[in-house]
């Protein structure tokens, strides 16, 4: 939502995670290093249409929401309710 600066880091890290885990490996993505004049245009290497790209993003989000987060610290209430450290379970519990 607008004017929620406390969510900025969460949203930016979500985009970063999506980029490094799923999109970075696709052909036609923007390389990390700066381009040199006369270098081949990376956009011409793109192989996916908008529908295929959307499917990859959706599957990446579904995969993340169903994986166990070993680094997540659960509080006492979560432990008492036996809530798994899986994003979708945390969402349902909260």
pLDDT averaged per 10 residues in sequence order, the chain, 94 residues: 78 83 74 71 79 90 88 89 91 88
Q: What is the pLDDT of residue 51?
A: 94
User: In angstroms, rounded to a whole number, what is the distance separating the alpha carbons of residues 3 and 11?
Assistant: 13
DSSP 21: I
Under 8 Å between Cβ of 72 and 94: no
Note the Cα 50 to chain centre separation in Å: 18
pLDDT at 58: 92
pTM here is 0.65
- How much is the pLDDT for 19? 82
Decide: helix, strand or coil at residue 15: helix
Q: How many CA atoms lie within 13 A of 12 on its CB side?
A: 6
**What pLDDT is stored for residue 13 in this prediction?**
85
Identify the H or E element spanning 56: helix 50-65
């Amino acid at each position: 939502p607008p004017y929620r600066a406390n969510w900025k880091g969460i949203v930016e890290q979500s985009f970063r995670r999506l980029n490094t885990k799923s999109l970075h490996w696709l052909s036609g993505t923007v390389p990390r290093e700066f381009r040199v004049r006369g270098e081949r245009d990376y956009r011409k290497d793109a192989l996916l249409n908008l529908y295929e790209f959307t499917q990859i993003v959706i599957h990446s989000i579904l995969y993340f929401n169903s994986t166990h987060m070993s680094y997540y610290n659960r509080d006492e209430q979560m432990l008492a309710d036996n809530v798994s450290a899986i994003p979708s379970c945390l969402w349902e519990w909260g």
